[in-house]
Amino acid sequence: MNIKSQKEKCVVIVGAGPAGLAMAKALSGMGFIINIIDPKNKQEIVSPSYDGREIALTHQSQIFMEKLGIWQKIPEKFISYIKKAKVLDDDITESILIGDLIDKGGEIGFLVSNYIIRKASYEALIDSRRKNKDIEFSFSDEVIDVQNFDSFSEVKLRSGNTINAKLVISSDSRFSKIRTLLGIPSDMFDFGRDMLVCSMKHSKTHDRTAWEWFTYGYTLALLPMRKKFDDRQYESSVIVTMTKQEINNLLSLDEESFNQNITQKFKRFFGDMVLTSPCYSYPLVSVYPKKFVADRYVLIGDAAVGMHPVTAHGYNFVLKGIKTLTGLIDEASQTKEDIGSISLLKKYNRRHKAATKPLYLFTKLIIAIFTKEDSSAKKIRKIFIKLGQLPFIQKTFTKLLMKE
């Protein structure tokens, strides 16, 4: 198929990660030709590798993933259920408990590995491709230039190919090259920390609770995973946030020393802890562009909102943005309007900002409060924890998580 000749119907999606694949799945069947471009080779997209990252999902996200046909592709054994969340200050006796007031047996959310979501998203998209025959892939290729004209954008690829499209959708990570290419400024904040992630089994129960522990000098998190051992052990995703040098020191330890170090960091709260996966580290950088749109161009996923992982809410924003944009595109296509019009894109910009900016700013505030260690910051931390223990505050947080 000559994609270039189909510019009136063509949509280009830059990035074949969870956001790009879900976006393509949402648009499939609407009458567009959807071209997905990614520098990774086909095998990396078809069979993604474990990367240590576990993704927290709200009920609304689960419902939308089910609507897209993605949730059905995730085997039950890979879905963990979170019934509570607990936030602790350095003093383990003081904490905020979220979700304890919901009905017995309920959960505030779900936990699924990033690579499992990527795999499920691709498989669901291939189902749509077979049915609608409207998906094209450009693997091992990347966008090097975008030129905008009155009725279309010209997308040039490193391979030499050119695609003319009504709309270019960017989901190429929080460090988006296309966002930079088109001159969209961003609020990019480097927290000066790296995050180490791995899976560990432990002898004491996690009680299906997501733990966030702001100790002095580093931050710990433990996300409950589905039990898969027959030796009365539990398994969790473990996250340690420290300076890059400290993370490198952790990574240099032999396995036995690493296990002992993490067990001690958690003050043996979960008993002996033992690695069950490789370790991965990532820099902590949050990103929020000044705007999500330009001429015939729109940002979704981490390219739009790159959250600090403390809220574990990043992918929920990904899906919320896709749902908003898809709804606007569907309305426009039904009335034969231009899906790349700036008036349509500005609607998305307003709605997605309203949905994401408050939590983005609140997260930055929380990180500022809980990572400073001067005496005034410690007092504020104590006050925040005390306020969070009030029943109506806990109930409000729980409702927000349940309803997003």
pLDDT band at 1 (very low <50, low <70, confident <90, very high): very low
Mean residue pLDDT of the chain comes to: 89
261-264 contacts at long range (C-beta below 8 A, 24 or more positions apart) = 262/200, 262/238
> What are the tokens at 258?
């690493």
pLDDT in tens, 231-267: 678 999 999 999 999 999 999 999 999 999 999 999 9
Query: Residue 40 — left, alpha, or beta (φ > 0 → left; ψ -120 to 50 → alpha)?
Result: beta
Q: What is the structure's pLDDT at 81?
A: 93
For helices 375-388 and 342-371, angle between their N-to-C axes, nearest 10 degrees: 110
Q: What is the structure's pLDDT at 394?
A: 61
Alpha helices in 10-68 (DSSP H): 18-27, 42-46, 59-68
pLDDT band at 274 (very low <50, low <70, confident <90, very high): very high
8-12, 176-180, 198-202, 383-387: segment of lowest average pLDDT: 383-387
CA dist., res. 83 & res. 108, Å (int): 5
pLDDT in tens, 166-218: 999 999 999 999 999 999 999 998 888 999 999 999 999 999 999 988 888 88
Q: How far does Cα 163 stand from its chain's mean position? A: 28
85 in Cβ contact with 212 (< 8 Å): yes
CATH (residue range 3-48+115-188+286-368): 3.50.50.60
Mean pLDDT of 97-126: 83
Give 51's Cβ-side CA count (13 Å radius). 18
Q: What is the structure's pLDDT at 376?
A: 73
CA dist., res. 270 & res. 205, Å (int): 7
pLDDT at 393 over 80: no
**Which of 289, 267, 292 lies closest to 350 in space, CA to CA?**
292
CA dist., res. 140 & res. 292, Å (int): 26
Residue 139 CA: distances (Å) to CA of 37, 41, 153, 176, 193:
6, 5, 20, 17, 33
pLDDT in tens, 168-180: 999 999 999 999 9
Q: How far does Cα 153 stand from its chain's mean position? A: 28
Q: What is the structure's pLDDT at 225?
A: 94
pTM: 0.91
Compute the C-alpha angle 165/170/174, nearest 5°: 165
Phi, psi (5° rounding) for residue 44?
-65, -30
pLDDT at 3 over 50: no
Give the H/E segment covering residue 283: strand 280-289
CA dist., res. 13 & res. 1, Å (int): 17
Q: What is the structure's pLDDT at 229?
A: 61
13 in Cβ contact with 173 (< 8 Å): no
The segment with the largest mean pLDDT, out of 37-46, 305-314, 363-372, is 37-46
* Comparison of pLDDT for 310 and 327, the residue scoring more: 327
The residue to which tokens 């009504």 are assigned: 166
Domain boundaries, the chain: 3-48+115-188+286-368
pLDDT band at 5 (very low <50, low <70, confident <90, very high): very low
pLDDT at 100 over 80: no
Bridge-partner residues for 214, per DSSP? 219
> What are the tokens at 59?
């009920």
DSSP 8-state code for residue 309: G
